[in-house]
Copies of this chain bind each other. A is one copy, B any other.
Amino acid sequence: MGGSLFGRQLQLMTFGESHGPAMGGVLDGIPAGIPVDFELLRREMIRRKPGEKSFESGRREHDDVEILSGVLEGITLGTPVAFIIRNEDHKPSDYHDLKRVYRPGHADYTWDRKFGFRDYRGGGRASARETTARVVAGAFAKMVLLKYDALVYGFTNQIGTAAMEDDYNFQVHKIEASALRCPDKIVEKEMQAVIDQAVKEGDSVGGMVTCVVKNFPAGVGEPVFQKLESVVAQAVMSIPAVKGFEIGRGFQVATMKGSENNDPYINEDGKIRPASNNAGGVIGGISSGEDIVIRAAIKPVSSISQQQTTVDADGFPVKLNVEGRHDACVVPRAVTIIESMVSLALADLILQQEINKRFQE
């Protein structure tokens, strides 16, 4: 059936192979009358981009977004917003050597099993470049959420063994002030050391991203299969390299007791709210009005400089030496993509709740 459609009320269909003419998407269901924040869009695209930093590959991607529809005089029309990002011209020969090799950790083998055929050039649709379209759409989703005053931000809370404590009470601007998107200066240094070591060894490292949503209204999420955490999990687990997802206390709940984990309600100046937020902003699949807090585990990049042994499509052994520069760690860049998918999932749910709200008036 294809799987390039995300969402129910706010629906995104994306497309593009990394070495085809363009990446892009169409976002349908975005309400009319939303002013498009082009500066936000531009900033998000820069945040996703591979940079010049020591841990990144130095590849330059041209990420100029062209909006093809759905916007008139800077305002959304209520019709689909389509956008494309052109890919650079590539010589197919650049990738010819990999045409029949099954690279470890990459989707070459499984796509061949699925389609009997695949775009071997730079990973095709399985390339991380696919995420550009998510970031463009995510920027529009953030614009929807901002209409509700909801703010989404993520940060790198772990790279290798260098990990922040489980806390997100810091000033948000510290995230982008950090090359690694880690707001804790001391941990950031440890993270950088981990990356430097990996680069030296021709290896790569994994990590973890936390994403927080502030001011998200209570009452959003749809029982029983479209619970908020269920929809956000699907969104985040669809990002390449993500291997784990949790909300609130997440895997810690395995060792907790009910008396610790339960969030009792209090009356705070006439407003009912949970006294604690172990749940991570969601109870019974529906938002509680508290901060939504999720975490995602990111695997180490599959392309490494070390020689690897694998086989080709005929089953012959191959010594694989991946040429060129490669990211040793993509966790800081994953922050933007995770924010984008969380935003798309939540904008979708928040719009769905309008109907219930109307009927309660």
Contacts and interface: CB of A to CB of B under 8 A. Distances in A.
A360 interface: yes
Interface stretch (A41-49, A53-61, A166-174, A346-354): A346-354
Given A8-B1, A244-B251, A359-B33, A257 B198 contact: yes
Contact of A272 (B77, B163, B237, B311): B311
A72 B265 CA distance: 26
A78 to B, nearest CB: 4
Contacts of A17: 69-70, 72, 77, 79
A116 B238 contact: no
A300 B253 contact: yes
B126 A284 contact: yes
Nearest to A297: B251
Contacts of A23: 69
A207 B254 contact: yes
Contact of A223 (B4, B104, B358): B4
A264 to B, nearest CB: 4
Given A11-B13, A265-B310, A302-B258, A115 B356 contact: yes
30 contacts: A5-B5, A5-B28, A13-B26, A15-B28, A15-B70, A15-B81, A15-B82, A16-B68, A16-B69, A17-B69, A17-B79, A20-B69, A32-B116, A72-B124, A75-B117, A77-B119, A109-B265, A110-B285, A125-B224, A126-B284, A126-B285, A163-B254, A198-B258, A205-B257, A208-B254, A227-B238, A243-B247, A244-B247, A250-B297, A260-B300
B124 A77 contact: yes
